[in-house]
Amino acid sequence: MMKNLIVSSMFCVVALGLCAQDDMEWESLKKKYPDDVAIYLNRTYTINLYFEKDSLRMYTETSSDLLSLKEQTDLFSDRRVYGSHFSEVTDLKAKTWVWEKNKYKPIQVTSFKKNSDQDRGIFYDDSYYYTFDYPSAAIHNRTTLQYREIMKDIRFMPGFTFTSYLPQLRTTFIIKAPKDVDIFFQVLHDSSGQIKYSKTEKGKNVQYDWTAENLAALKTEDNSPPVSYYTPHIVCYIKSYTYNSTKREVLNDINSLSKWYFGHVSKVNANHSEQLQAQVEQLKAKSKTEQELVKNIFYWVQDNIKYIAFEQGMRGFIPNSGSYTCDKRYGDCKDMANLIVDMSKMAGLPVYHTWIGTRDIPYKYSQLPTPLVDNHMIATYISPDGKYTFLDATSNYTPMGYPSSMIQGKEAFIVKSENDYLIRNVPEIEPNRSRMIDSIAIRLENKEVVGTGTVILNGYAKVYGGYELDRAKEKDVKESVTRITSKGNNKYIVGKYQLTNELQRDLSTIIQYDFKISNYYQQVGNEIYFNLNLNKEYFNSFINKITRKTPRENSYKYLKRDVVELEIPSGYEVEYIPENANVNGKYLTLSTSYKVKENKIYFFKEIGVNYLLLEPYQFDTWNDEVKRISEVYKQSIIFKKK
């Protein structure tokens, strides 16, 4: 009964707002937001906590009121509402409010179609969505949406992001709960104080409100991290609650999370198949040291288990047994990590289940001991001398000793037993461990640059190259070789090429290739101008500090070395060679040097990129370094006819 009253009251608030809206206000909003196709007049998200017998339950309510400012808002007529095993969608209501004769006339959406949410990258997914179309979703009209989600587990208490890709007049986040529920909440990235907080108590209940008004639309920018890194939002979780004088912990601290997580894996490997036992014995027989055995197990899982995502209730959190995954030859990140742990335990190795968030998530376990922090599972080997090796089998081409690039710098939650856990930072791999060397010999021939080259890839440069070069079609492989070796200008063409070690993790990938570049150098009278900086990485790549508001993300740090051997054109001599240069920046480094020997010029260049996330306060330093390396790139050799 209480839930029905709440839904009814929500509807009345929206309806009253619609009746109060007049044509003058619409014209004002249209002028105020000339570049936006629509605006949220109101967006509200409410979390309701209540006792049912002796248990704490949770459901959420979502409501929105969208006004169309331009005709192209028919893009918003097709809508989706998502649910899953953990969040059951109910009480779905939607209307279009058509502006007629100076008032709004409601048209009810009557058809909602339920669909499964699967794609080619997911083997099984229990999430679903309702699709529906707003009738007459045109300029000046409004569309309203309300629905409830029944949350199956209070540990998955959601937070709220205030920003949207449309402007908003008013946005509200509400938590309603009994007073005996201890809730943690924190507002993040609201330095301007846009979000206003209030708390009201009534009887045995309490209500927390956060409201923001006149929020601008969130603008997309290239290479930005997820919005949780920089936009105003709230994170929250339930620490504990008291019922009939009995206190019950939910996620009171990291110990609570450790106990819960360990419960997911403590009994999954109770039995071992003959196939798994035989495989472990085979790997033990060919391994001379403990570390070699860990590597052989890790590589076997990478090579033999196909990664396929699962989303099926608690199967999203509890892995299949190691024997099951070994027999089926497929699994998700939890299955692959658990298989590594299971095989390692059978071999007597100190390898443990490890929960971790990818770089898509900005939070730390020390900040939020909740499932909000992680979306991934790996395994961790702790060597006798106390070194940590993070094993992520979902990254097929990553060698042992390198974490997958997507977890660099993240906190790893290593759970040994119910009450024994560790939190360790995954290192950020330094640039010199991800190196690309491109050595070429070139000559000028019939107004073209003609040459041969050898590329050597190590570290993440090899890993990312492996994903590109492991293609079924020769055309796709050649396109990847062209991209990896590209230089000069868009007239660059690769001829013959040969790949070596592209799938051998512990060996450098080698690409040998022939190439031509047309229209690259200038010939003016008796002089030839030739710029040996055939690759000008980050040339004039300044960041506009006024327009860019978001950080910039980079996949990995790296070094790239170019070695060029250029034949001096027949009948010419060297008139000018640029000076050697060195730029030693915090985020970008560059060194260049020239050497003339007999009839050849040798050019050496090395550029280093040393950041994973560049924050707006670092843009000045970045721009200064870009300016310095761009000046170096402008320098050309001048040949003069004898």
pLDDT, tens only, 493-522: 999 999 999 889 999 999 999 999 999 999
Residue 17 has pLDDT above 80, yes or no: no
Whether the CA torsion 118, 124, 125, 129 is positive or negative: it is: positive
Residue 24 has pLDDT above 80, yes or no: no
* Residue where the block lists tokens 């050898």: 454
What digits encode the pLDDT tens for the residues 422-432?
999 999 999 99
Give the mean model confidence (pLDDT) for residues 145-165: 94
Give the mean model confidence (pLDDT) for residues 518-527: 92
Residue 7 has pLDDT above 60, yes or no: no
Cβ proximity of 340 and 351 under 8 Å: yes
What digits encode the pLDDT tens for the residues 615-633?
999 999 999 999 999 999 9
Task: Tell me whether residue 278 is exposed, middle or buried, using C-beta atoms within 10 angstroms of its C-beta: 0 to 12, 13 to 18, 19 or more.
Answer: exposed
The residue that leads in pLDDT, 472 or 501, is 501
Q: What is the mean pLDDT of the chain?
A: 91
Residue 9 has pLDDT above 60, yes or no: no
DSSP track, 377-389: EEEEEE-TTS-EE
In this prediction, residue 118 has a pLDDT band, given cuts at 50, 70 and 90, of: low
Residue 3 has pLDDT above 80, yes or no: no
Can you give the three-state secondary structure of 594-606, one letter per residue?
EEEECCEEEEEEE
Same fold, 2-179+193-218 and 255-425: no
What is the reported pLDDT for 83?
Answer: 87
Q: If you ran DSSP here, which 8-state letter would residue 431 be given?
A: G
3 state SS of 409: coil
Q: Please give the share of the chain, as a percent, with pLDDT higher than 90.
A: 81
What is the reported pLDDT for 20?
Answer: 45
In this prediction, residue 115 has a pLDDT band, given cuts at 50, 70 and 90, of: confident
Give the mean model confidence (pLDDT) for residues 23-33: 85
Class of domain 255-425: alpha beta
| Per-domain boundaries in the chain | 2-179+193-218, 255-425, 431-641
Tokens (6 digits) for 339 = 């298989």
CATH ID of 2-179+193-218, from 3.30.360.10, 1.20.120.420, 2.130.10.10, 2.60.40.3140: 2.60.40.3140
| Cα distance between residue 577 and residue 592, in whole Å | 12
What digits encode the pLDDT tens for the residues 562-588?
999 999 999 999 999 999 999 999 999
CATH ID of 431-641, from 1.25.40.10, 3.60.21.10, 3.30.930.10, 2.60.120.1130: 2.60.120.1130
Cβ proximity of 361 and 372 under 8 Å: yes
Helices first, then strands: H and E counts in the chain: 10, 38
In this prediction, residue 435 has a pLDDT band, given cuts at 50, 70 and 90, of: very high
Cβ proximity of 86 and 153 under 8 Å: yes
In this prediction, residue 455 has a pLDDT band, given cuts at 50, 70 and 90, of: very high
* Least confident piece of the model among 179-193, 337-351, 469-483: 469-483
Give the mean model confidence (pLDDT) for residues 468-496: 90
Give the mean model confidence (pLDDT) for residues 333-346: 96
Give the mean model confidence (pLDDT) for residues 292-308: 95
